[in-house]
Chains A and B, each alone.
Chain A
Amino acid sequence: MEDWKTNRNVFWTLATPGTLWLIAFFLVPLAFLFVLSFSSKAMIDGQISINQYDYFSGLTNYLRSFNPDIVSIFIRTLWWSALATLACLIIAYPIAFGICFAPDRWRPLLLMLIVLPFWINLLIRTYALMAVLRDNGLVNSALGAVGLGPLPLMNNTFGVIFGLVYVYMPFMVLPLYATIERLDKSFLEASLDLGGTQFQTFRNITLPLTMPGIVTGVVLVFIPCLGTFLTSELLGGTSSWMIGNVIQSQFGPANDWPFGSALSLLLMYATFAVLAVRAFLSRNSKGVDV
C-alpha cells in the first residue's frame, strides 16, 4: 500500500466522485434524519401539529424506544435475522463450493442458474412464494395428494425466515464463490496428500481460507434482514412484526416521523455494533485480510 502523497493526482481522481456522491445523496439526507430524531411535533394553539416540528427538543424519542414492546420486537428482529443468515450460509456454502469445482465450461451457467432468480424483483418473488406456500398452494396440494398436511408454511415465523432465505441467498453465494474460486487448490491437495481427511482439510484449510467470503456474506445477508418489513408483512402471521414494520408504521399510520427517525438510527447503531464485533474478531484471527 502506498501513501496518498506519492501520487496525489491519482488519489484525488479516485477519491472525488465517491466522496461527493456520499455527501450529497447520503450524509446530507441522513443529517435530516438525525435532526428529526431529536425533534418532536410542534404544539400549535394547544394542539399537536400534524406536519410542523420543534427541532432539537430533547431525547423523548430515544427514551420511548426502550418501551418493552419495542425492545421485544427488536430482539425478535435480531434473532430471526441470525437464523435466516445461518440458514443462508448452510445452504450457500455447498452451492458455491460445488460451482467452483464444477468443470470450467459449466461454471458460468451454474452460477447464472443460482443467481438468475435474484434478478427478479423481491416483491414479485415474495408474491410468487405466497402462491406456493399458502394452505391451498402447490406444496400443500402436493402433500394433500399423498395424504399429508396441510402444513402451516406461511403466516408464521417459518414463512418469514423461509422468505428471507429465499430472497437474500445470492448475497451469500456470490462472495463465497468469489473467495472459494480464488482458493489455491494446491493447499487442499497438499493437505490430502499428507494424510488429512476430507473433514480435517475442510476444517483446517478450506474454512479458514474462505473466512473472508463467509464474513462478507454474513454481513451482506444479515444487514438487509434487519431492515426487513415486506417479507414479515406478507409472509408473517400475527406475531411477525420486525423493527422495520414499526418504523414503517411510524412513517405511515402513526405519522410520528421523529420517533420513526430515532428508531431508524437506533437500528443503524445496532448494526454498527455488529460490525464492530466483527472487526474485533477479524483483528484477533490469524491475519486474514478481509
Chain B
Amino acid sequence: MTVHRPFPRFTRRSLLKGTGAAFAGLVLSPRFAMAEEEKKLSFYNYDTYIGETTLDDFNKATGIEVKLDLFADGDELFTKLKAGNPGYDVIVPTSNVVERMVKANMLMPLDHAKIPNMKNIDPSFLNPTFDPGRKYSLPYQWGTVGIGYRKSKVEGAPDSWKWLLDDEKYAGRIALLGDQEHAIGAALKYLGFSYNSTNIDELNKARDLLIKGKKLVKKYADDNGQDLLAQGEVDLTMEYNGDIAQVMTEDDDLSYVIPKEGSNVWEDTIAIPTGAPHPENAHAFINYIFDGEVGKGITKTIMYATPNAAAKALMDEAYQNNPAIFPPADVLAKCEYSAYLGEEAVKVRDEIWTAIQAA
C-alpha cells in the first residue's frame, strides 16, 4: 500500500534532531559570536583542597569565573565522568585514577605549550609510570597514608600496622580508611606483601586478617578519621597525612607516623576531562596554579606536600622540614604508589571487601 505524502516525511529521529539543533543554536549562538571562550570554568575538586582565595584571585587576574563542585572520593569522580562529562573543565584525579581514565579515553591531552609554569614543577615528578611524559596530568599535591594518634592515650608511637590490625590493646578505639584500596593495602603491607598485590593467596590472608581484626575497629571511616580523632571518638586512625596535619595545628596532643612496614604514597594530579567545554580556560587555570606565589597560597591552606618547587621554596622552614609532610627518604623508600591493576584485579578486591563487610 502506498500512501501519498504531501509533506516531507518527518521521522521521529529527524524531528528530535531538528528541534535539538534549533534549541542548541538558540542557546549557544552567543558563544560562537564571541572570539574566545566565555569567561567561565568548572572545577571539580575535593573539599578544602584549594587555597582560600585562589579562585577569587584567578578571577581578578583573568576575569574567568570559577565554579567549584566537590566530590568525596576518586571513585565518585570516576563514576560521574564515565557516563559523559556533564560540563567539568578541570578535575583532580589520583594517580591510579588517571591511569584508568586514560585507558578509558576520559582525559584530554594537555598542551604543554600553554602551561609555561610547568618549569616550576620539581623534575622528579615529570615522568611517572602512570602517565609517561605527563601527557594527561600534572602533579597537584602528594602525600602518604599513615597512622594519626592521640599521644596521651597511646603508649609510645604506633609505628606498625600491628597497632591497628592485630593488637587487642586499643580495641574499639581504632578507625581504618573505609575503602578497599587502603584497608586491604595496609593489611598486605603488614603481612609483608605489596600494596598492589594481585596474588590471590596474599589477598586472602589480608582478608582473614581484616575479618579477625573487625572487633578492634570502631569504624571504617570515609576520609574523616581526623575528625573522629579530634573529637576523641578514636585514639588511632589510618589517614592521609595532610588531614592529620590540619588537625594537629588545632590540637597539640595529636601526631602522625608512617608504619615501619611501609605504606602508601600517593599523588593527586590536575587534568582536563574529555568533553570539557572550556579547554582554553582550563589550561590558563592550570598554568596559574603552578605559579610560585599561587602555589604557596594553596599549600598554606591545605598543608600537603607540593610538587611545585617554586612554591615550596617560598614556604617557611617549619613546612619544608616537617617530617609529617616530607617524610625522610628511607621511610619513603618503603612506600608504594597505588597502581591501576586492571578491571579483573578490581573485581577480586571488591569481592574481598564485600566478604569483610558481610562477616
Direct contact of A and B (CB under 8 A): yes
A191 interface residue, CB < 8 Å from B?
no
Judge whether B354 and A70 touch: CB under 8 Å: yes
A47 CB-CB contact with B under 8 Å: yes
**Residues of chain A from 175 to 196 with CB closer than 8 A to chain B in the complex:** none
* A255 pairs with B346, CB closer than 8 A: yes
**For residues 308 through 359 of chain B, which have their beta carbon under 8 Å from a beta carbon of chain A?**
342-344, 346-347, 350-351, 353-355, 357-359
Does A245 lie within 8 Å of B357, measured CB to CB?
Answer: yes
| Interface pairs (6), CB distance under 8 Å | A48-B342, A50-B100, A245-B357, A249-B354, A252-B76, A255-B78
Residue of B82, B357, B359 with highest tally of chain A CB at under 10 A: B357
Query: Which one, A49, A241, A256, contacts B350 given CB within 8 A?
Result: A256
Give chain A nearest CB distance to B200 CB in angstroms: 16
List residues of A (225-259) whose CB comes within 8 Å of B's CBs: 233, 237-239, 241, 245-246, 249-256
A285 in the interface (beta carbon within 8 A)? no
Q: Is the CB of A155 within 8 A of B218?
A: yes
A50 to B107, CA, bound (A): 14
A114 close to B (CB within 8 Å): no
Tell me whether A135 and B346 are in contact (CB under 8 A).
no
Tell whether, in the assembled complex, residue A238 and residue B214 are in contact, meaning their CB atoms are under 8 Å apart: yes
With contacts A239-B359, A254-B350, A255-B343 taken as known, whether A233 is within 8 angstroms of B79 at the C-beta atoms is no
Q: What residues of A have a CB within 8 angstroms of the CB of B231 in the complex?
A: 134, 136
A256 touches B347 (CB 8 A): yes
Once bound together, how far apart are the Cα atoms of A139 and B347, in whole Å? Answer: 41
Provide the bound-state CA to CA distance between A70 and B354, in Å.
8
Using an 8 Å CB-CB cutoff, how does the interface string of B100-141 with A read, 1 for contact, 0 for none?
Answer: 100110000000000000000000000000000000000000
Cβ of A72 within 8 Å of any chain B Cβ, yes or no, is yes
Other 9 A-B pairs with CB < 8 A, given A136-B231, A155-B219, A253-B75:
A50-B100, A69-B351, A134-B233, A136-B232, A238-B357, A245-B357, A249-B353, A252-B73, A255-B79
Beta-carbon contacts of B210-223 to A below 8 Å, as 1s and 0s?
A: 00001001111010
Does A284 sit at the interface, judged by CB under 8 A?
Answer: no
Shortest distance in angstroms between A149's beta carbon and chain B's nearest beta carbon?
14
Does B243 count as interface, using CB distance less than 8 angstroms?
no
Cβ of A239 and Cβ of B357 under 8 Å apart?
Answer: yes
Neighbouring B residues of A41 by C-beta, 8 Å: 343
Q: Return A236 CB to nearest CB of chain B, in Å.
A: 8
Contacts of A135 in B (CB 8 A): 232-233
Min distance, Cβ A78 to any Cβ of chain B, angstroms: 14
Residues of A near B359 (CB, < 8 A) are 69, 239
A73 within 8 A of B: yes
**Contacts of A15-72 to chain B: CB distance below 8 A:** 41, 47-51, 67-70, 72
The answer to whether the Cβ of B261 comes within 8 Å of any Cβ in the partner chain is: no
Separation of A48 and B346 alpha carbons in the complex (Å): 11
Residue picked from A155, A233, A241, most chain B C-beta under 10 Å = A155
Report the nearest B residue to A47, measured CB to CB: B342
CB-nearest residue of chain A relative to B74? A253
A251 to B75 Cα, complex, angstroms:
9
Closest chain B residue to A131, Cβ basis: B231
Closest to A232 in B: B357
Q: Mark B47-60, 1 if CB is under 8 A from A, else 0.
A: 00000000000000
Say whether B232 contacts A51, CB under 8 Å. no
CB distance from A267 to the nearest CB of B (A): 15
B179 lies within 8 A of chain A by Cβ: yes
A155-B219, A233-B222, A253-B350 given as contacts; is B358 within 8 A of A48 (CB)? no
A residues within 8 A CB of B79? 251-252, 255
Q: In whole angstroms, how far apart are the Cα atoms of A246 and B354 in the complex?
A: 7
List chain B residues, Cβ under 8 A from A251.
Answer: 79
A41, A67, A69, A253 interface centre (most CB from chain B within 10 Å) = A253
Inter-chain contacts of A47 with B (CB < 8 A): 342-343
Q: Which of A112-144 contact B (CB under 8 A)?
A: 134-136
- From residue A218, how far is it (CB to closest CB) to chain B in Å? 27
Partner of A48, one of B76, B181, B344: B344
With contacts A50-B100, A50-B103 known, is A239 near B78, CB below 8 A?
no
A67 to B352, CA, bound (A): 12
Q: How far is the CB of B347 from chain A (nearest CB, A)?
A: 6
Choice from A51, A237, A250 contacting B104 with Cβ under 8 Å: A51
Q: Which residue of A lies closest to B181 (CB)?
A: A253
Complex CA–CA separation, A145 to B232 (angstroms) = 17
Nearest 9 Cβ contacts at the A-B interface = A254-B350, A241-B357, A69-B358, A48-B343, A50-B104, A252-B75, A253-B75, A69-B355, A238-B214
**Cα–Cα distance between A70 and B351 once the two chains are bound (Å):** 10
Contacts of A50 in B (CB 8 A): 82, 100, 103-104, 343
Which one, A49, A69, A252, contacts B354 given CB within 8 A? A69
The distance from the CB of B40 to the nearest CB of chain A, in whole angstroms, is 28
Residue of A nearest to B175 (CB): A155
CB distance from B172 to the nearest CB of A (A): 8
> Closest approach, in angstroms, between the C-beta of B122 and any C-beta of chain A?
30
Expressed in whole angstroms, the Cα–Cα distance for A155 and B179 within the complex equals: 17
CB closest chain-B residue, reference A254: B350
Interface residues of B in 140-198 (CB under 8 A from A): 179-181
Q: Which residues of B contact A239 (CB under 8 A)?
A: 214, 357, 359
B354 and chain A: residue at smallest CB distance: A69
Give A68 Cβ to nearest chain B Cβ, in Å. Answer: 8
Chain B minimum-CB-distance residue to A73: B358
